[in-house]
Amino acid sequence: MKHRRIPRRKAAVAGGAVVALVAAAVTFQSANASDSTEQHALKSLTAPAAGTLALSLTEDLGADGAGAYYDADAKALVVNVVSEDAAQTVREAGGKARIVENTLAELTGARQTLADKARIPGTSWATDPVTNKLVVTADRTVEGAELTKLREVVEGLGAKAELKRTAGEFKPFVAGGDAIHSGGGRCSLGFNVVKDGEPHFITAGHCGQSGSEWSDSAGGAAIGTMVDSQFPGNDFALVKYNGDTAHPSEVNLYNGSAQAIAKAGDATVGMQVQRSGSTTQVHDGEVTALDATVNYGNGDIVEGLIQTTVCAEPGDSGGSLSAGDTAIGLTSGGSGDCSSGGETFFQPVTEALSTFGAEIG
C-alpha cells in the first residue's frame, strides 16, 4: 500500500537551495575535462549563493554551458563550459571555469536514449557535472538479459555515460519528521505549509491517495485528509489539517529540539543537507545529482529528483530534507539502509509548492 507519514507533536519542515551542481570536497580530475588556468579572483560562496550564481550563468552561457557544482572545500562554484569565451564569462562572474567534452545537449540526448532503449526496473540515471557524464546505476535486481541490455546501451553511448551497480534495491521508502499513519501504513511528515490561508502539510505521493485520512498515531483519530497525491511521475502529496492541530514550521531533530523552517529553496550539487524521518530520525549527507530519474518497478518511474548520500529506510518516506532553515526535498526512495548506506532520492519541495499553490508556513 503506497502511503506516507503524518507527524504527531510537530510537523516536519526542512530547507535548502537547489541548482544543478554536484559533490562537495571533489577533486578536479576527469578523463574528459580540464581546468581553466587563467588567474581570476574566485568568489567565496555558500552553497545557496553558488546555486543562485549557477542559475544566472546558465542563462548567460546558453549552449556553451555544461552544468555546474559546488566545491565545498574551496567555497567556490565550478562551471563546465565547452568554449574559451564561455570560460571567460564564468571567470568574470567569480566562478571557476572548466572546459569539458560533453555538451548538455549531448548528455540530454543520452538520457533520452536510456529512456527509449533501457527502461528497466531497478535503474536510475542522472547527469554528473563532476565527471561530465550520465551516470547510470543498476540495483541488485537487474541481472541476466536485462543487465546485458543495459550494458550494451550504456556502452553505445561511449564517453557520455558510465554504468555503476548498487548493492541494494531501489524502492519507495513506504511504511519522516514525525510519523503519520493511514490504513495501517506509516510515512513521515515533510513540511507544514499554508494553502489559501489554511494549514496543510506535504509528504510523499506514494504514501497514499486523495481522500485518505491521516493520523499522528497508529489507529488514532484523523488529523488531516489528503487532498492531492501525485505518483508516479512526481512524488508529492498535500494533506489538509482538520480542526486546530498544531502546525509549527519546523522539523523534528529527535533530540528534544527542532529546526525552524523559514523558506523553501532549490538544491545544489555539493550542498550539505539533513534528513528527518520517523524510522531513522536525523541523518546528514550531501547532494550528488539533480534531475535524477528512478525506475522503482511496476511502472513507477519518477523524474526530476534530487540524489543524495543521506541514508533512509521504510517509514522515512515523505520526511523532510533541509539545509539550515530552508526546505529542500521530500524523501521518495532509494537503495540500502542506514547501516550499509546507499543512494537516496528526494522530490524537490519547490516543485511541490508550485504545483499545489502553497507556501512554507
Residues known to be catalytic = 206, 235, 317
CA distance 284 to 171: 20
Q: Helical H runs in the chain? A: 47-61, 84-92, 104-117, 144-156, 349-356
What is the biggest distance separating any 2 CA atoms in the chain, rounded to whole angstroms?
A: 65
The Cβ of residue 52 has, within 10 Å, a number of other Cβ atoms equal to: 17
Residue in 315, 302, 314 with CA at minimum distance from that of residue 346: 302
Are the C-beta atoms of residues 347 and 234 closer than 8 Å to each other?
Answer: yes
Hey, which residues does 15 pair with through a beta bridge? 327
φ/ψ of residue 112, rounded to 5: -65, -35
Peptide bond between residue 48 and the one before it cis (omega within 30 degrees of 0):
no
Q: DSSP secondary-structure letter at 95?
A: P
